[in-house]
Structures are given as C-alpha cells and as structure tokens.
Amino acid sequence: RRSGRSGPGAGRPAKLYALAEAEEDKLLNEKHYDLLAELLLRAMNDRSGEDPQQVLERVGYEFGRELGEAELAAGRSPSYASTTEAVMGVVGVLTRYGFGATAGTDGEFTARACPFEEMAKVDPQRVCGLDRSIWRGVLSAFNPDATLAEMTTRTDGDEACAARVVEVDS
C-alpha cells in the first residue's frame, strides 16, 4: 500500500449495509395476534365491573408499562428521560413489537405498521384504544410527567398512526 497503512481501516472503505426492501416489508408486516389475544383475555377475565373499554385500555397501559420497565431494567433507555429520550425509548419498544416506529421532530413519532392491523380495521375503537394505551404505558415508564397528544390513526384515514409526546403541567 502506498500509504504504508496496514490492518483494520486500510484499503477499501468499510461496507455499507442497508435493509433490503423485501426485508423491510417483512418487518413492517410483522403481526402479533397472539399478543392481542393475550391482552383481550386479560381484559375479559377482569372482574372489576369497569366499562369494558376502560378495562381494555388499562390492560394495555399496564402491559406497555411492563415493556417500558423491562427496557429500563435492561439499560436500553434512561429513566425520567427528556422528551427526546422518551420518544426514542418508545420508538425502540414499538419497533420491536412490529409498529415500524420512527422518531420525528418536536416530540413526534410515527408508526408505519400495526401488529394488530386486520383486527384494527374490524374494531378500531377497541383495538386502537388498546394500542394507544400500550404506547402510553411505555411512555410512562420512561417519563411519568409526559403524555401523548395530537394522535392520528390509519383507521381514520390518516397516512400513519402518529403521536406527539408532551410534558404534563405539574
């Protein structure tokens, strides 16, 4: 070699890898109907006497909170995170569960896919309500002083499901 360099870093530039389009489609089409069934069964077995939709959303919130706490225990996200860090934590968890989530600006994030998509088309109120409760639960583990605002859903004809994380006035 003319430069006289040898070893790692010498020679051709490092390879750049990108996810093949077919693989990205596979990831975005990942479904978790087993999880949906488990959460629906938890809600059905609840004997609190609450409104069924409230029970379903509570079950989703608790599940999301468990996911967020597991993320914290694994050291993948900071506790009491800033809005930006909380968004990144939520995006990471949602992506692992098939939502294809990406972070935007000003506390916004978007889910390009839904692991419960077919059922959300059948019953958007219940399934999307459960879904958003999971999102809220995950967020609460990272930043209990934040909430979701300005949400959009694909079942309402929006391009993507999206939300914005905002700090709650104490």
Task: Please determine, for residue 164, whether its predicted confidence score (pLDDT) is greater than 90.
Answer: yes
What pLDDT does residue 5 have?
62
Q: What is the DSSP string of 1-56?
A: -TT---STT-SSPPP-----HHHHHHHHT---HHHHHHHHHHHHT--S---HHHHH
CB–CB of 35/118 below 8 Å?
no
Structure tokens that stand for 112 in this block: 């390009």
Between β-strands 146-152 and 108-111, what pairing exists: parallel, antiparallel or unpaired?
Answer: unpaired
Tell whether pTM > 0.85: no
The mean per-residue pLDDT over the stretch 12-21 comes to 58
The CATH architecture that domain 30-167 belongs to is 2-Layer Sandwich (3.30)
The mean per-residue pLDDT over the stretch 4-18 comes to 60
**Residues 110-136 pLDDT 10s:** 999 999 999 999 999 999 999 999 999
DSSP 8-state symbol, 144: T
User: Which of residues 10 and 120 earns the better pLDDT score?
Assistant: 120
Helix (H) or strand (E) run with residue 134 in it: helix 124-142
CB–CB of 80/59 below 8 Å?
no
What pLDDT does residue 144 have?
92
Sign of the CA dihedral with 140 first, then 143, 144, and 147 last = negative
**Residues 62-103 pLDDT 10s:** 999 999 999 999 988 777 778 899 999 999 999 999 999 999
Band of residue 165 on the pLDDT scale cut at 50, 70, 90? very high
- Please state, rounded to an integer, the average pLDDT across all residues of the chain: 86
Looking at the chain, the whole-number percentage of residues with pLDDT higher than 70 is 82
Please state the domain extents for the chain.
Answer: 30-167
Task: Please determine, for residue 22, whether its predicted confidence score (pLDDT) is greater than 60.
Answer: no
